[in-house]
Amino acid sequence: MSALLSDLGLAWEQPVHGAQQTFRVLLAAMSHPGRVFSLPPAATAGVQPPATSDGHRMSIAATVSLLTLLDAESSVHFAGPRDASALAGYFRFHCGVRAVPADACQFAHARGGEADAALCERLQHGSDAAPQDGATLVLDVDGLAPQALTGEVQVLRARGPGVQTQSVLSVRGSLPALWRWRAQQADAFPRGIDLLLCCGDQVAAIPRSTLLALETPPCM
């Protein structure tokens, strides 16, 4: 049994404290769209992110975010052309959550190269009367930076609630199609999806209330 649990992956050494520390960071990120936050050691202590069959591991930020947000009353979808059974098993064991198709989930996880407009359209967007029914997409990317970078990155310029003037965020390892779709969603509010971008122990949020413009940086 110990070998099986080791293969499954571990969660927090102190679950209550870990979840509280993570929730504070997620709340700050949602309150300040486009700003990059680092998780404190207490939010990640003891956590072993789950791995898929191809050996890829979910980031520590995405892992603790989902450990905090998921419970037995919620549902999750793991996107991408890979075996997601290890991810589903990890969060079912630690959170009691159900894995469901994309169009029925409250939360979804994907790698940056697997999230596009088609996936976002499949997720629940809520309604004008019940916008809280919109899904949250947790996206693992290769890099986050709070300034405009050059090269193979997507430079996002965010405006709206929680942003004093304009917030600039460079994202490495995501599809331009995702951000082109997101930039066209201004008229959909209060319907839509919330985005949590994760890389290592860093997280940034793009809530559905945020107005987003995509800048294509020159390649070096």
**What pLDDT shows up at residue 8?**
67
pLDDT tens for each residue of 122-171? 999 999 999 889 999 999 999 999 988 888 899 999 888 877 777 889 99
CA torsion sign, 204 to 209 to 210 to 214? Answer: positive
pLDDT for residue 6 is more than 60: no
Query: For residue 171, what are the β-bridge partners?
Result: 144, 154
52-83: b (≥16 Cβ within 10 Å) or e:
beeeeebbbbbbbbbbbbbeeebbbbbbbeee
- Helices and strands (H and E) in the chain: how many: 7, 11
Distance CA 158, CA 177 (A): 17
pLDDT for residue 215 is more than 90: no
> How confident is residue 218, by pLDDT bands cut at 50, 70 and 90?
very low
**What pLDDT shows up at residue 178?**
93
CATH of domain 2-142+192-209: 3.40.50.11310
Who wins on pLDDT, 81 or 20?
Answer: 20
CB-count burial class (<10 Å; 0-12, 13-18, 19+) for 129:
exposed
Report the share of the chain in percent with pLDDT over 70.
92
Strands in 37-38's sheet, in edge-to-edge order, are 37-38, 202-206, 194-199, 136-140, 107-111, 75-78, 98-99
pTM (two decimals): 0.91
Mapped onto helix, strand or coil, the DSSP state of residue 155 is strand
